Structure 1
Amino acid sequence: MHDAPLAGLHRLVWTALMAALIAVGAMVMLPVGPVPVTLQTLFVALAGLVLGPARGAGAMLLYVLAGVMGLPVFSGGKAGFAHLLGPTGGYLFGFACMACIAGFGGLRGREARDTAIRLPRVALALCCCLAGLGVAYLAGAARLMQVLDIDVARAVAVGVLPFLPGDVVKVLLAVAAWRFLAVRRLLPR
């Protein structure tokens, strides 16, 4: 009976921690064109894997809410609702979807509660993260097309292709970190 409130608090702390890590990931930035390179992809995927679909997306939405309320958490230390309407606003929406989709890959590892996170579970987690990344790219490219008034080919050339190799590496790192936490039974309850 006494564990229920603590488990809820534990999940809440993890959600806030993942939102903070997403913000830190936005600060590690390399400006290249209209879409900067950041470490957000790593922490968005990790949030989904660690927290599950709903809480993973919730961590991303908490991060967005902090930025909309004026905290300088968006890439380059930006803040405000206007950032959501800019060329990179689609990625922020897409990242919430990515965290949700990635969360389905982490569920089995949490439900099993064993130390044997074997290849099929890791492969599922990786596939879910990559599918989520695809959705984030789709939302981001769509917003780029709208705001910059460019065609699909140009949006993909500017907002997807330059980031694909690095984002795949970040997703691999997120899956490795999730597996590390799962094997050591450090995931939220």
Structure 2
Amino acid sequence: MSLQSSPDKTLALAAWPTASSRVLRFGVLALVGSALLALAAKTQVPFWPVPLTMTTFAVFMIGAAYGSRLALATVLLYLAEGFAGIPVFAGPVAGPAYMMGPTAGFLWGYAVAAFLIGLAADYGWSRSTPKMALAFFAGDAVLFAMGFVWLAFFATLSSGAVGLGASAAFAKGVLPFLLGDALKIALAAFLVPAGWTLLGKLRG
């Protein structure tokens, strides 16, 4: 079956009818999404082998619910807030220097992952748990790849050294988070289609 893009039929946009201003809707949803990302970054869940922050989960949900354009704008707004020095990231520090530090690849990876997941949602994948799980996996793989490459080869660390090297970057920046992200993918892939079911019931 051929794919047919439906950018106005993602979950968030379907829940907010277009009778109101599209610009207002876009702006409010982007602000709400950036606030949710900041809250998720500050939220830690005890887990093994490392505690989970919920940022990637929020990226998954925003991409799936918002679609590609709005999800990308939302994450870029979040990053712009961090660039301006607002402490929206997991730690208490933000600003331009932080965004060129060891985690920069992951930060920019959020934007790419949200766009890719949102693109799948534009084509109606958010109504299907298996398709959404595939989209989340693809987005997460790109996010990890960007974070790994930056951490391994380009990140300027506090010591002034450049990069950790591939093996150290994988051991510290990827491996400890794989199990947690698999759980987030499973949860998000269940919740997004369930959101469509709930919306349908609310509308009768």
Task: Identify the residue that residue 135 of structure 2 maps to in structure 1.
Answer: 128
- The one-letter code sitting in structure 1 at the alignment partner of 2:107 is L
Note the alpha carbon deviations across 1:106-163, whole angstroms, 9 max, x for none: 224489xxxxx3xxx2211111111110111011111111225322222111111100
Q: What TM-score comes out, normalization by structure 2 length?
A: 0.76
Larger radius of gyration: 2
Task: Identify the residue that residue 99 of structure 1 maps to in structure 2.
Answer: 114
Q: What is the aligned-residue RMSD (CA, Å)?
A: 2.5
Cα pair distance change 1:13/1:172, threshold 3 Å: farther
Q: What TM-score comes out, normalization by structure 1 length?
A: 0.82
2:162 paired with 1:157? no
Cα pair distance change 1:133/1:29, threshold 3 Å: same
Unaligned runs of 5+ in 2: 1-16, 156-161
Report if the CA contact (8 A) 1:105-1:127 is conserved: no
- Please list, as runs of the form range in 1=range in 2, the aligned pairs for 1:78-97 lying within 5 A after superposition: 78-97=93-112
Report if the CA contact (8 A) 2:130-2:189 is conserved: no
- The one-letter code sitting in structure 2 at the alignment partner of 1:46 is M
TM-fit CA distance, 1:101: 0.9
Where in structure 1 do 4 or more consecutive aligned residues deviate above 3 Å?
2-8, 108-111
Report if the CA contact (8 A) 1:70-1:80 is conserved: yes
Unaligned runs of 5+ in 1: 112-116
2:147 to 140, 152, 175: 140
Task: Identify the residue that residue 53 of structure 2 maps to in structure 1.
Answer: 38
Report if the CA contact (8 A) 1:27-1:77 is conserved: no
Residue correspondences, number: 174
Percent sequence identity is 31
